């Protein structure tokens, strides 16, 4: 087809670190080059930019040795990439104990991330986030975790008939709260292998103001209407992984995920679940597929995956996903 497009991305990272006793400093710069090539004779395009990566100061073992403090642009990571996997400008406190540990942080973008934009992404501008995680190890068979994210968008909602640049379009201003629980562990170990599990449940609640746009002139959009609504959604995710007693530990995984939909479109409450927006989108083999890459929103997803070691440093994963919308809708988040 004439609209076939191939994109290529190259990235170089430069990181510097300094350590002295319980103090650690780290800084990172990324160089990124993108190239687009069309299948027909249309000329493609290329763009190169520098991005600020992680840049932080870490003070370990403060306040009687149990706490740590991290300041600067830092990486927030959920090992399963379901809640967050993102660099944020933040202040974060850690606490570590023999059986449990936690962190809490406050984050807000302080400036543009890349040199090719002189403004903060409209989806993140004046958005303040409070987020945290607590983990408790009861036994090898049971690890419990709790997550929360409170988001407040303090940007001004656009007025009807206002004209904005397309690159600065912000169609949603939302004050939302996510909270959830996770359980992971091992059902059994035997000569037949290891059977592990993971289960997540999450809720989202809050208020949202939506803005509708139409293209006015080249590069500019005009606001045609706004709508206020409540957000009330929930989601669950569960999987079981069998690690076979074979060289390289091949795995077989069965999983099911559900994100609520909304079948009452005529009211002022959106019951569709949406993820935090900080979850991993691109880098890893995603739980919900690498082709469609959907957000767990208004979806039922059944998954079968087989992981096979290829070498000491590489692994082949084959996945089958069956997607079904909870309520019929013309789009996916």
| CA–CA separation, 81 and 275 (whole Å) | 11
How many of the other CB atoms lie within 10 Å of CB of 273?
27
Q: What is the DSSP letter of 158?
A: P
The contacts of residue 290 (CB under 8 Å, 6+ apart) are none
pLDDT at 8: 77
Bridge partners (DSSP) of residue 26 are 17, 56
The domain limits of the chain are 1-53, 63-325
- Note the pLDDT tens digit of each residue in 71-91: 999 999 998 889 999 999 999
According to DSSP, residue 40 is labeled S
Give the pLDDT score at 314: 86
What value, to the nearest 5°, has the Cα angle with vertex 303 and ends 205 and 297? 20
At 169 the pLDDT is 87
Which distant-in-sequence residues (6+ apart) come within 8 Å of 69 by Cβ? Answer: 58, 59, 62, 91, 92, 93, 94
Give the largest CA-CA distance in the chain.
69
Coil, helix or strand at residue 196: strand
* C-alpha–C-alpha distance, residues 54 and 51, integer Å: 10
| Amino acid 28: pLDDT | 96
Phi and psi for 74 in degrees, rounded to 5? -135, 160
Q: Fill in the DSSP letter of residue 114.
A: B
**Is residue 138 classed as helix, strand or coil in its secondary structure?**
strand
41 phi and psi angles, rounded to 5 deg: -90, 5
In this prediction, the residues of the chain whose per-residue pLDDT falls under 50 are: 1
Q: Which of 147, 178, 133 is nearest to 273 (CA)?
A: 178
User: DSSP code of 319?
Assistant: E
Query: Which residue, among 30, 33, 41, has the nearest Cα to 7 in the 3D structure?
Result: 33
CATH of domain 63-325: 2.40.160.100
* Backbone phi, psi, residue 195, to 5°: -115, 110
Strands 251-259 and 299-309: antiparallel
């Amino acid at each position: 087809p004439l609209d076939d497009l191939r994109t290529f991305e190259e990235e170089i990272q430069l990181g510097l670190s300094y350590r002295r006793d319980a103090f650690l400093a780290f800084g990172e710069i990324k160089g990124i080059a993108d190239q687009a090539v069309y299948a027909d004779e249309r000329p493609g395009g290329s763009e190169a930019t520098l991005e600020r990566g992680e840049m932080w100061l870490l003070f370990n073992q403060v306040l009687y040795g149990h706490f740590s403090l991290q300041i600067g642009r830092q990486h927030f990571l959920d090992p399963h990439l379901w809640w967050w996997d993102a660099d944020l400008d933040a202040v974060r406190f850690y606490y570590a104990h023999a059986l449990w540990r936690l962190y809490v942080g406050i984050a807000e973008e302080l400036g543009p991330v890349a040199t090719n934009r002189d403004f903060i992404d409209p989806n993140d501008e004046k958005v303040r986030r409070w987020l945290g995680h607590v983990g408790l190890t009861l036994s090898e068979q049971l690890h419990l975790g709790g997550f929360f994210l409170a988001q407040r968008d303090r940007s001004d909602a656009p007025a009807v008939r206002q004209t904005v640049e397309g690159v600065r379009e912000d169609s949603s201003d939302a004050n939302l709260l996510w909270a959830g629980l996770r359980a992971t562990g091992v059902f059994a170990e035997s000569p037949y292998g290891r059977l592990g599990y993971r289960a997540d449940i999450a809720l989202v609640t809050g208020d949202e103001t939506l803005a509708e746009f139409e293209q006015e002139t080249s590069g500019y959009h005009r606001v045609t209407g706004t709508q206020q609504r409540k957000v009330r959604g929930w989601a669950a995710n569960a999987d079981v992984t069998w690690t076979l007693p074979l060289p390289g530990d091949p795995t077989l995984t069965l999983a099911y995920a559900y994100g609520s939909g909304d079948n009452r479109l005529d009211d002022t409450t959106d019951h569709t679940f949406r993820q935090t927006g900080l979850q991993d989108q691109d880098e890893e083999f995603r739980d919900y597929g690498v082709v469609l890459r959907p957000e767990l929103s208004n979806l039922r997803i059944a998954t079968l995956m087989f992981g096979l070691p290829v070498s000491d440093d590489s692994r082949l994963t084959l996945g089958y996903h069956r997607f079904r919308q909870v309520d019929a809708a013309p789009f996916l988040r």
